[in-house]
A = this chain, B = another copy of it.
Amino acid sequence: MSAFVWLIPVLAACALVFAAYKAAFVSKANPGNPRMQEIAAAIAEGADAFLKSEYRILAIFIAVLLVLIAVFINIGTAVCFLLGALCSILAGVFGMKVATKANVRTAQAAQEGGMNRALSIAFSGGSVMGMCVVGLGLLGCSLIYLFTRNYDILFGFSLGASSIALFARVGGGIYTKAADVGADLVGKTEAGIPEDDPRNPATIADNVGDNVGDVAGMGADLYESYCGSVLATAALGASAFIGQGGMQLKAVFAPMLIAAVGVFLSVIGIFLVKTKENAGMSQLLKSLSLGVNFSSVFIAIFSFIILYVLGLTHWLGISFSVLTGLLAGIIIGKTTEYYTSHSYKPTKKIAESAQTGPATVIISGVGTGMISTAIPVVTIGVAIILAYLCATEFSTNLLSKENLSFGLYGIGIAAVGMLSTLGITLATDAYGPIADNAGGNAQMSGLEPEVRDRTDILDALGNTTAATGKGFAIGSAALTALALLASYIEEIKIALLRVADTSGLEAAIRNLNTQALAVDSKEALHNAGFADFMTWFDVNLMNPKVLVGVFIGAMLAFLFCGLTMGSVGRAAQKMVEEVRRQFNSDKGILDGTSTPDYARCVEISTRSAQREMIGSSLLAIAAPVAVGILLGVSGVLGLLIGGLSSGFVLAVFMANSGGAWDNAKKFVEEGNFGGKGSYAHKATVVGDTVGDPFKDTSGPSLNILIKLMSMVSIVMAGVTVALNIL
């Protein structure tokens, strides 16, 4: 065993080496003519500037939390917290630096005429992000655990990841859509100039946004899910096999091993992504799918092998739990594709409704998005039940103490299964904005139209992978949050045991209900199962504290979305005013005789995003703390479940409505219902603009809300036990 487990950091380190190799590959490519390089430099500079100013705020935030954690929890957790945050930042910075290099080189490769070469550069750029995320995540988690053998402090690592994700996703989401919506409103609608036109002062900011929102933001989001699912499952494994020494260790290492092998398979999968130099859309899609499918199939097989070799109790059932998660991820991805791609009926119907104007586009898009939640939710529901049942090997007394532990471990490992191939799925995801930027660069530097045509094919493919990636991100967030829920109970137990140590057993069980009075020893408290805590804290659906918690949680998902929507609106408004000001003060801009002030627009986006993200971020952190103090453990659990269920459904709705609007517009632009410039086209542009914050700001931010509220609750468990009003 002991030699075997060192495979985990070794494979994680391999991922980083591979990322460095891919980064070098991108750097070596031809960066194009001076005009292209100039534009690329402006985008890279803007992205850097955003990250720097984001990290300045983050530094304060992290410093404050670091001191609080060190004082109120312990030094170990504080150090882990710092490491988790630093690893996330590192992955973000490195991934984004390479992405901003890759876009111009992709454009150049497209100019040189090779689709394979262009795909290869763009995809390599994306895979650097993917590999950094899984490599740093797994390396950090595994090394800390291998050296300390303490999974408790590891939640600090995960909280660090969550904190960065919050700012990266929310801030990045606001940035990208403020720039995008602002650029579209004045550029396309008022001035009548096309997307990515160099005359539009907001166009650089728009391209920067793709990098900070869709590359760095998405990366931080999935980094959090990845670490969260592995750690929560490890913790559940420790609890399921409590007091069984060797078996417990195996259960802790199992998720890390699966993740490590997943990293290795992702590397091979990435190597498989190749196409012909004159490839079309369907061939490109096929080559990407080949890589992803290879990794998925083999991780399924390897899960059985790993768990068999480990000799884990219920290894066969638990392997099927992994499979469940993997399949759920694929089904959710496919559903997302069905509802958002204009190859299928739902999006075509939205385009059709554009003939009666923007109002019907919005109505049908909202309707479609809401309907599209059904399959993902049922899928997650079935996955939860199946992962649970498999892990208990379909035992008879499903909810017994032992089976509950096994079952929850099964749900956790299903999340690990879903995320095991993250290295390559995130690569296909981060590839999208690179291709998008490549097109922008081609347009702005005035390359031949056929270059833009080639990058457009890459971009269209990127839209599909991005939509699938979003389905994947939210699906994994939901399963991870469920696993974290169980970890929360574990932490509450630990907190109670600590109280029993310091102030005696009576003090520990004072806040529990009368049935807990039967607990007559620390031993009994230590051996209590999940169901016991449910009874002692009255975490049932007739407890008004639970009910109110569920209501508040559901509301928070909407409030969080509303706040981020409002942020995008306000920030876009500022951008519109600035662009109008530039157009008015210098008539030469629209004629193409003078250069607009791009930097000013970048600065406005940056400042708006920074300011706007603070309110909603604090809400996500403060809510579980406040509910914990007011309504106690049962209220917090209600809050987490309410936020998780509503947040999940709301996120799917918003992501899919947004994606469908985007592609409905593209469908009309392809010449349907009047094509570009028609009444229907104008109507779909409205839909697309509304969809922007839906799919790229508010929807994805919910992933963070869901996970972060759980993480905050876990870390604050001790405080909730100590201070509790009702």
Q: How far apart sit A659 and B345, CA to CA, in the bound complex (Å)?
A: 31
CB-contact partner of A554 in B482, B541, B649, B686, under 8 A? B649
Q: How far apart sit A44 and B385, CA to CA, in the bound complex (Å)?
A: 53
Check A357/B404 contact, CB under 8 A, given A542-B530, A569-B364: no
A381 contacts B548, C-beta separation under 8 Å: yes
B540 contacts A534, C-beta separation under 8 Å: yes
Q: Which residue of B lies closest to A177 (CB)?
A: B363
Residue from A353, A370, A411, A573 with most neighbouring chain B CB atoms (10 Å)? A370
Stretch at the interface among A55-63, A195-203, A499-507, A639-647: A639-647
A360 contacts B572, C-beta separation under 8 Å: yes
The answer, yes or no, to whether A497 is at the interface (CB within 8 Å) is no
Q: How far apart sit A133 and B195, CA to CA, in the bound complex (Å)?
A: 57
The answer, yes or no, to whether A553 is at the interface (CB within 8 Å) is yes
Q: Which residue of B lies closest to A366 (CB)?
A: B565
The answer, yes or no, to whether A290 is at the interface (CB within 8 Å) is no
Q: How far apart sit A60 and B637, CA to CA, in the bound complex (Å)?
A: 44
So how many copies of this chain end up in the complex?
2
User: Which residues of chain B have C-beta atoms less than 8 A from A540's C-beta?
Assistant: 531, 534-535, 539-541
Stretch at the interface among A2-10, A323-331, A395-403: A395-403
Within 8 A of B (CB), among A359-384: 359-360, 362-364, 366-374, 377-378, 380-381, 384
Q: Which residue of B lies closest to A554 (CB)?
A: B645
Check A544/B385 contact, CB under 8 A, given A373-B558, A646-B646: yes
Q: How far apart sit A562 and B656, CA to CA, in the bound complex (Å)?
A: 12
B542 contacts A360, C-beta separation under 8 Å: no
A369 contacts B562, C-beta separation under 8 Å: yes
The answer, yes or no, to whether A189 is at the interface (CB within 8 Å) is yes
Check A378/B689 contact, CB under 8 A, given A545-B385, A565-B370: no
The answer, yes or no, to whether A486 is at the interface (CB within 8 Å) is yes
B411 contacts A544, C-beta separation under 8 Å: yes
B562 contacts A368, C-beta separation under 8 Å: yes
Check A185/B359 contact, CB under 8 A, given A353-B573, A371-B566: yes
User: Which residues of chain B have C-beta atoms less than 8 A from A377's C-beta?
Assistant: 551-552, 554-555
The answer, yes or no, to whether A715 is at the interface (CB within 8 Å) is no
User: Which residues of chain B have C-beta atoms less than 8 A from A358's C-beta?
Assistant: 358-359, 686
The answer, yes or no, to whether A576 is at the interface (CB within 8 Å) is yes
User: Which residues of chain B have C-beta atoms less than 8 A from A398's C-beta?
Assistant: 726
Q: How far apart sit A641 and B548, CA to CA, in the bound complex (Å)?
A: 10
Residue from A482, A559, A561, A646 with most neighbouring chain B CB atoms (10 Å)? A646
Q: How far apart sit A648 and B645, CA to CA, in the bound complex (Å)?
A: 14
Q: How far apart sit A552 and B690, CA to CA, in the bound complex (Å)?
A: 27
The answer, yes or no, to whether A625 is at the interface (CB within 8 Å) is no
Q: Which residue of B lies closest to A689 (CB)?
A: B359
Residue from A551, A566, A637 with most neighbouring chain B CB atoms (10 Å)? A551
The answer, yes or no, to whether A193 is at the interface (CB within 8 Å) is no
User: Which residues of chain B have C-beta atoms less than 8 A from A557's C-beta?
Assistant: 649
Q: How far apart sit A169 and B544, CA to CA, in the bound complex (Å)?
A: 30
* A655 to B: closest C-beta gap in Å: 13
B572 contacts A378, C-beta separation under 8 Å: no
Check A544/B388 contact, CB under 8 A, given A535-B535, A551-B645: yes
Q: How far apart sit A304 and B345, CA to CA, in the bound complex (Å)?
A: 60
The answer, yes or no, to whether A291 is at the interface (CB within 8 Å) is no
* A696 to B: closest C-beta gap in Å: 13
Which positions in A face B, CB cutoff 8 Å? 181, 185, 189, 353, 356-360, 362-364, 366-374, 377-378, 380-381, 384-385, 388, 397-400, 404, 407-408, 411, 482, 485-486, 489, 513-514, 530-531, 534-535, 538-548, 550-555, 557-559, 561-563, 565-566, 568-569, 572-573, 576, 637-638, 641-642, 645-646, 648-650, 653, 685-686, 689-690, 693, 726
Nearest 9 interchain pairs by C-beta:
A370-B562, A367-B565, A534-B540, A359-B689, A377-B555, A371-B562, A554-B645, A381-B548, A367-B566
